[in-house]
């Protein structure tokens, strides 16, 4: 019979999670980190929709020069690409790692070392790419790295299919939130990312992000050091949906919120199964969305050149930056 106390959680000695405080560790015991709420015991080797296990899996850690200028700067953003994902985007450029799950399993101290290595290479920030399903481990690694001298901003680069109560664990640890806001339409979100409730969940998450970090702040050389920068990828044939996304931003966040309206869509992965998006975005479609941005009074944003519609910008997930760390995931 239970005595009303929560039993201590003791991961296996080789689990690599010994540096995690119990409140964060317990989040993996019945995983409800994201709206999927799978309830799997990841500490016991169970996996849910995203496929992630107990250890954070990483496919690449490198200086990246193709983010927004206020993120990449002159020396590059210290990107850490996590494997697995809680969405199933049919056009995902990173599908080898997001759907395929290739990468190296790292302990929390090893993940902290990855952050410190990138800082030593001159990264302007640590850019955590698709980290939601490893949020407790990432939070622990950030604290550990900061204890060891990490002093550059932390950028949380997310698809935004997250829960505010999970994101609350990051308060005081993340400086810049870089969320997507992919869709307004439930139909599009279900058809292309297997998440009909995407808009409802992502908007709640973005409001929590803004609550934590507030308005954008910049260094003297133009790098974002705090705030929220929302990304929206315009899909072929979906300009009206993009305009509804911008309308929500204008109605629910300060008009000076930074928005990156992206034209880089390339029909890769499973896009060929959906004829309506199995083509590139036209310039007219893109400019229609940019015109709407101006018409509704949004003030700050980034746009892309048509040359961004090139799959060569997709990183090579060759485990660079992970030398001597972790084990190849199974």
* pLDDT tens digit sequence for 166-175: 999 999 999 9
- Examine residue 259 and state whether it is found in any structural domain, yes or no: yes
pTM of the complete model: 0.94
* Residue 272 pLDDT grade (very low, low, confident, very high; cuts 50, 70, 90): very high
229: nearest Cα among 165, 174, 192: 174
Residue 8 has pLDDT above 80, yes or no: no
How many C-beta atoms lie closer than 10 Å to residue 203's C-beta? Answer: 19
Residue 221 lies in a domain: yes
What's the CATH number where 136 sits?
3.20.20.70
Residue 153 scores a pLDDT above 90: yes
How many domains are there within the chain? Answer: 1
Three-state SS string over 137-204 comes to HHHHHHHHHHHCCCCCCEEEEECCCCCHHHHHHHCCCCCEEEEECCCCCHHHHHHHHCCCCHHHHHHH
Asked whether residue 99 carries a pLDDT value surpassing 70, the answer given is yes
Q: CB neighbours of 213 closer than 8 A, spacing ≥ 6? A: 174, 175, 176, 177, 226, 227, 228
Q: What is the pLDDT of residues 13-30, one digit of tens each?
A: 346 898 799 999 999 999
- pLDDT the model gives residue 14: 43
Give a yes or no: residue 160 inside a domain.
yes
Pair type for strands 300-302 and 327-328: unpaired
In a domain, 233, yes or no: yes
Mean pLDDT over the full length of the chain: 93
pLDDT of residue 15: 62
Q: What is the mean pLDDT of residues 247-256?
A: 98
- Per-residue pLDDT, 312: 67
Cα–Cα dist 26/13, whole Å: 16
Ranking 56-60, 81-85, 215-219, 312-316 by mean pLDDT, the lowest is 312-316
Residue 239: which domain range? 55-320
Q: Give the DSSP letter string of 259-275.
A: EEEE------TTGGG-G
- SS3 assignment, position 57: strand
Task: Give the number of other Cβ atoms within 10 Å of residue 58's Cβ.
Answer: 29
42 lies in a domain?
no
What is the C-alpha separation between 201 and 210, in angstroms, rounded? 15
Whether 18 is in a domain gets the answer no
Helices (H), the chain: 22-25, 69-72, 95-98, 108-120, 135-147, 164-167, 186-193, 198-213, 239-252, 283-295
Q: State which of 120-124, 302-306, 308-312 shows the largest mean pLDDT.
A: 120-124
Confidence band (pLDDT; 50, 70, 90) for 307? confident
The number of beta carbons lying within 10 Å of the beta carbon of residue 131 is 23
Do residues 250 and 298 make contact, with C-beta atoms less than 8 angstroms apart?
yes
Query: Could you tell me the pLDDT band of residue 313, with boundaries at 50, 70 and 90?
Result: confident
pLDDT at 308: 72
Q: Is residue 37 part of a domain?
A: no
With respect to residue 50, please indicate whether it lies within any of the assigned structural domains.
Answer: no
Q: Of all residues in the chain, what percent carry a pLDDT higher than 70? A: 95
């Amino acid at each position: 019979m239970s005595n009303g106390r929560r039993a201590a959680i003791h991961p296996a000695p080789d689990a690599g999670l010994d540096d995690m405080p119990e409140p964060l560790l317990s989040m993996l015991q019945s995983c409800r980190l994201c709206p999927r709420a799978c309830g799997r015991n990841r500490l016991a080797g169970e996996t849910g929709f995203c496929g992630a296990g107990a250890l954070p899996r990483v496919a690449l850690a490198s200086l990246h020069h193709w983010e927004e200028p206020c993120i990449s700067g002159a020396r590059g953003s210290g990107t850490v690409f996590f494997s697995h994902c809680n969405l199933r985007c049919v056009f995902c450029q990173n599908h080898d790692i997001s759907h395929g799950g290739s990468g190296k399993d790292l302990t929390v101290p090893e993940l902290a070392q990855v952050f410190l290595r990138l800082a030593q290479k001159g990264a302007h920030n640590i850019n955590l790419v698709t980290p939601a399903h490893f949020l407790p481990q990432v939070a622990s690694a950030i604290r550990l790295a900061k204890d060891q001298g990490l002093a550059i901003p932390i950028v949380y680069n997310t698809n935004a299919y997250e829960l505010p109560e999970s994101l609350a664990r990051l308060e005081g640890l993340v400086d810049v939130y870089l969320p997507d806001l992919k869709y307004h339409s439930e139909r599009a979100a279900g058809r292309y990312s297997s998440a009909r409730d995407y808009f409802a969940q992502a908007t709640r998450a973005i409001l929590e992000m803004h609550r934590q970090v507030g308005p954008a702040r910049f260094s003297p050389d133009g790098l974002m050091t705090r705030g929220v920068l929302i990304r929206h990828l315009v899909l072929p044939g979906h300009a009206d949906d993009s305009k509804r996304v911008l309308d929500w931003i204008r109605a629910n966040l300060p008009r000076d919120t930074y928005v990156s309206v992206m034209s880089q869509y390339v029909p890769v992965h499973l896009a060929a199964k959906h004829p309506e998006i199995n083509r590139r975005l036209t310039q007219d479609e893109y400019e229609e969305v940019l015109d709407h941005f101006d018409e509704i009074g949004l003030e700050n944003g980034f746009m892309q050149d048509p040359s961004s519609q090139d799959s060569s910008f997709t990183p090579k997930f060759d485990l660079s930056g992970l030398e001597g760390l972790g084990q190849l995931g199974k």
